Amino acid sequence: MPNPLCHFELMTANPDRAMSFYGKVFDWTFDRESIPGYTLVNTGQEPSGAIFAKPDDAPNVCANIYFQVNDLDATLAKAIENGGKTLVPKTPIPNVGFFAMFADPEGLAIGIMQPTS
């Protein structure tokens, strides 16, 4: 199976300003109710995304991308075997599946998601 881009996140210092900006630029709509503190982004087609506030201990604002995989554990293991580093271990997302994040050998953060079958 290909590993398509399936989700993105915009971690920003001011989520309200980001929503105003991206809503005007791309006509995105937002769901602030489903997950407190994590605003879901409807782009009009897949992939969807989210906007959330940068935690105080995060060094910078950033954009995160997630690729869908069939076997999160195997994919994370391959990343580590090939010079990557685990940033976020396998973590459940209720009613969705699991996600993890790793840094590639250059330090770029990449997310992976395995949906619940």
pLDDT digits (tens, 9 = 90+) for 78-102: 999 999 999 999 999 999 999 999 9
Q: Cα(95)–Cα(110) distance, rounded to whole angstroms? A: 22
Check pLDDT > 70 for residue 1: no
Considering only residues 106 and 67, tell me which one the structure prediction assigns the higher pLDDT: 67
Look at residues 101, 93, 111 and name the one whose alpha carbon lies nearest to residue 34: 93
Summarize the confidence of residues 1-18 as an average pLDDT: 90
Can you give the pTM of this predicted structure?
A: 0.83
Check pLDDT > 70 for residue 20: yes
Buried-state track 37-57, b at ≥16 Cβ within 10 A, e below 16 = eebbbeeeeeeebbbbbbeee
All structural domains of the chain, each given as residue ranges with its CATH number in brackets, are 1-66 (3.10.180.10), 69-110 (3.10.180.10)
Summarize the confidence of residues 27-41 as an average pLDDT: 95
Other C-beta atoms closer than 10 Å to the C-beta of 114 total 21
HSE, side-chain direction, 13 A CA sphere, residue 8: 13
